Chains A and B, each alone.
Chain A
């Protein structure tokens, strides 16, 4: 924490020097939400080990270097952590002014994906590949900009004291703001991200105090939309197959049901304490596909058992619980809405990702926050942590 000094926010409290500044009662370091930060760091550390275990033998993807994924995962975590620090340093209030630019930039990036610059991986065209092995999933950042954008619009008049709740017009405008990137993501098509975005909208609307009609309307629209998608055959066959395999895991265990089956076998065979790190036969034998990203939880399940996998759920619980506290404790609606959006985002991704490995949710390609390998996701999540910390840091001191 050498750079802890940089957390200090200009204009807050008297100027002090050195250690005093860090440990002063009103210092940024003291005001950070440490339980959340430590839980997030612990998750990242566990994630590194799990990613290493899942990839050290996968010679066909790790370019012959068993540390390939481990090193990159740690680098991603470091960059993410730095982004979090930067976000706290800037502060969510500062970012509020930059929201239109950020929103525009993120929409531009996801539009780029649809151009020949984009690349298709696992059936979704949601990557931009740069030279030198770097690639980006701009949809991850849209999650942040939608939260920030909607929060800005919905909270503007409430925080100004004009209104108690956002009026219908504002709600409509904010929905329009969210609809544009959602439609673009649907074109990729990246169903998983769309579901995350819809959940975020729901969380944001709930926290903004928008009328119940909007909330229920949105839920109804979601249900109707799902039925429509099903009926109109908008989904690709692989997506329908995933649902079919979810409904009946015994279906075609060598094909569609393979992922789910192997994932469940891996987790189930872990037992209470697991096979031991690097000793899981399912993991070592590479029976579970995508095990460093979407199915990383199966490594924990098999090698660390109920104890280790339960710890991951517990740590994610700590992060989510603290995020909820931050939402409730924020004095301004803007902070509350942003925090609630992040809670919805993290919670949905956690539940969907772990749920699909446990066979209680259909398979969609969503990473497990902090744990799964993947740069864009890692950056977005740490930026979100930064936003939460910033909301926490900038709340008025209580007596």
Chain B
């Protein structure tokens, strides 16, 4: 087509033109290659990125499952509230960014326009609260306390309120049936944090920005089951977030309900009695310190002896779980967790640990038998026991002469156990144990009882308690010796002397340590739930169960029921004969032992109770009272810090709980009609065909009914709970005289 000579072109130019042409075409080739790489080779990757780019999710939260008691009464459920929300995307489409609409809305809701605008703005580093912390595509709640009238106004004039919705929404609520509280067992919810969202991102139960997460108690333990699965509607949006289409959506799946073994009536009685016992203790005079008992905290556990199921669990001081609803205020939060608070969030039944005192003697008794001491050997119960220069006194200086192990347990003779522990300590080689392992029967038995570790109850953050054995002494010394050696002084104050000794030989098991340990003093620590586990095993013939609260998980439609079976933990290391001996001795505590003065007139022949009292000394504080008891069906353990002796502080309270369970009247007769739970609750509440769970009505206040005729025949304990009425209602007198009245509160399930 062309011929080069005709152009008369010099070769240099011609070559350069060819070079340019090649260069240009290769550049285009590069573009084509890169295009192929992006679109064909990496195409799917970019397609994924693109879809992530323009799809936004709107979350339709799942209704959280209820927590029910053993009869189906709701301890935690949801209440329908009218929530007025604003859609940011709709508001931003308006010319003034929705200012006019929000101002009008503020008028209807009786709020300040500024307040409403603040709630709708998005949180960032520069924006202080109030602001919206969630997804900007989520409807932003403006109030959850709209009245039906306000909601109607908004809905009927929806053209005046574009982007504003007034919808009923489910909010968590703790109804507290029959005045029960159960706060620490139920736990509470709070909004999910960013870290949690990140962490759970790739698991099969990811969190959504709007999620409320269980923070403690059952709400946390069974969070996954209760939470259900939120529904997600996916919208395609443009770069400014304007919706341009709708993509795949998933419907919300409501959470399952948790049926617990808690009986709300027994729970109420337990709470009432604990509170009452503490109030009474505060009126009592403490001879040791010369002031009234402080009784600053306490716990009570009521457990089914044969299964380990918890019927009631209360911790004092307590709080109203409803403070968490709709977000807790800073003031309330400080009151619950601040330095000056009495830490009411702690569940002292599983998170409070203290020296068990004499209640520990069942372990020491078992240990003595394991070490080869005869049950009926005559062990001297002297008024004191001296070792070196130290004198270990019996409680209030009593002496009973030579007695059997059973009798020692019954009268709680310290010196018998001092002597046994001291002999074993010497056998094991004293302060410098001989080579080869020391036998350490007393410590090994404690471990065999499952102490020094968690019971495994289905509640989070259980503490372990402590068995102060050689290993622990070693570890503790290593951790503290530097501080002890620094501040300890040979001739200083009591604390300084202790620290000085600790610095020198704190890693050694000293004679005094073993002696103190044998009666549950010194460094020994137990939790109320551990006590309940041990005494429950004694009640059922020697089997320890994992304490459980959850009984079944029932899906929202009621179709699938997953039962939570009781689990056997271990067998107690005692023979049948020893068990019988202990059983008899503990029954004797009720009839003629340390608790007898509080159980006068108890129908022991019909309902045999067993008990062990404990009074543990705490350095610098008043004594901790323990009362561990059991019948054939139940174990009741109560402890109150700084409240004196176990029987003195908790005797009436524990007796009242048994009275409520079995329907024992003040005169000792048994009224089966009034018994709340004469035998442990069998089976599960009925699931109706529509998936809801049937629940009986609950009396207004079971505790009040229990004490309804206290006045008619004074309780044998001497102190009348009615004198220090826990319930502040002034209607006390009238209701007391009235026949039983059914609670009028309608329960929502």
Contacts and interface: CB of A to CB of B under 8 A. Distances in A.
B731 interface: no
B31 interface: yes
B40 interface: yes
B2 A268 contact: no
Contact of B7 (A164, A264, A330): A330
B12 A165 contact: yes
A206 B22 CA distance: 14
A98 to B, nearest CB: 25
A333 interface: yes
Contacts of A355: 30-31, 34
Contacts of B25: 317, 320-321
A306 B31 CA distance: 11
A354 B49 contact: no
A150 to B, nearest CB: 15
Contact of A272 (B28, B40, B54, B236): B40
A358 B31 contact: yes
Interface string B1-24: 111001111101110111111011
A305 B53 contact: no
A162 to B, nearest CB: 14
Given A209-B12, A209-B16, A285-B236, A313 B32 contact: yes
A327 interface: yes
Nearest to B11: A209
A353 to B, nearest CB: 10
Interface stretch (B118-126, B188-196, B237-245, B636-644): B237-245
A340 B238 contact: no
A254 to B, nearest CB: 11
Interface string A261-298: 01011111111100000000110111100000000000
B243 to A, nearest CB: 10
A165 B10 contact: yes
A289 B13 CA distance: 42
Main secondary structure of the interface of A (DSSP, over half): helix
B8 to A, nearest CB: 6
A338 to B, nearest CB: 13
Q: Indicate the member of B19, B25, B47 with the most A CB atoms within 10 Å.
A: B47
Interface in A157-210: 164-165, 203, 206-209
Interface string A334-365: 00100010011001001100110011100000
Contacts of B1: 398
B20 A267 contact: no
A320 B28 CA distance: 10
Contacts of B24: 320-321, 324, 343, 347
A210 B465 CA distance: 94
A336 B7 CA distance: 10
A328 B17 contact: yes
A329 interface: yes
Given A327-B17, A328-B7, A268 B28 contact: no
B39 interface: yes
Contact of B239 (A203, A285, A327, A331): A285
Interface string B218-259: 000000000000000000111110001000000000000000
Given A268-B42, A329-B2, A358 B35 contact: yes
Given A268-B46, A313-B28, A358 B34 contact: yes
Nearest to B4: A328
**Which of A268, A328, A358 has the most B CB atoms < 10 Å from its CB?**
A268
B205 interface: no
B325 interface: no
A343 B23 CA distance: 11
A57 B239 CA distance: 12
Contacts of A309: 35, 39
A165 B12 CA distance: 9
A282 B50 contact: yes
Contacts of B47: 268-269, 271
B16 A207 contact: yes
A316 interface: yes
Contact of A306 (B10, B20, B35): B35
Q: Which of A165, A285, A316 has the most CB of B within 10 A?
A: A285
A270 B240 CA distance: 22
A301 interface: yes
A235 B17 CA distance: 34
Contacts of A398: 1-3, 6
Nearest to B43: A271
Given A284-B244, A324-B17, A267 B12 contact: no
Given A265-B50, A328-B14, A270 B20 contact: no
Nearest to B35: A309
Contacts of A262: 53
A398 B2 CA distance: 7
A310 interface: yes
Interface residues of B, number: 48
Contacts of A321: 21, 24-25
A207 B45 contact: no
Interface string B554-569: 0000000000000000
Contacts of B20: 203, 206-207, 324, 327, 340, 343-344
A396 interface: yes
A330 B8 CA distance: 9
B129 to A, nearest CB: 24
A309 B44 CA distance: 17
Contacts of B42: 268
B713 interface: no
Contacts of A336: 9, 13, 17
A306 to B, nearest CB: 4
A350 B24 CA distance: 10
Contacts of A330: 7
Contacts of A324: 17, 20-21, 24
Contacts of B387: none
A272 B10 CA distance: 45
B432 interface: no
Given A328-B2, A358-B34, A360-B34, A269 B13 contact: no
B13 A305 contact: no
Contacts of B7: 328-331
Nearest to B18: A328
Contact of B236 (A164, A203, A281, A360): A281
Nearest to B42: A268
B49 A351 contact: no
Contact of A164 (B10, B14, B19, B43): B10
A282 to B, nearest CB: 6
14 contacts: A262-B53, A281-B53, A282-B50, A285-B53, A301-B38, A306-B35, A324-B21, A327-B17, A328-B2, A330-B7, A333-B13, A336-B17, A358-B31, A398-B1
Interface of A: 57, 164-165, 203, 206-209, 262, 264-272, 281-282, 284-287, 301-302, 305-306, 309-310, 313, 316-317, 320-321, 324-325, 327-331, 333, 336, 340, 343-344, 347, 350-351, 354-355, 358-360, 396, 398
Q: Which 10 A-B pairs have CB atoms at the shortest separation, nearest pair first?
A: A268-B46, A269-B50, A285-B238, A324-B21, A271-B43, A269-B47, A306-B39, A209-B13, A347-B24, A269-B46
Given A328-B14, A360-B30, 7 more contacts: A207-B20, A262-B53, A281-B236, A287-B238, A327-B17, A336-B13, A354-B31
Interface of B: 1-3, 6-10, 12-14, 16-21, 23-25, 27-28, 30-32, 34-36, 38-40, 42-47, 49-51, 53-54, 236-240, 244
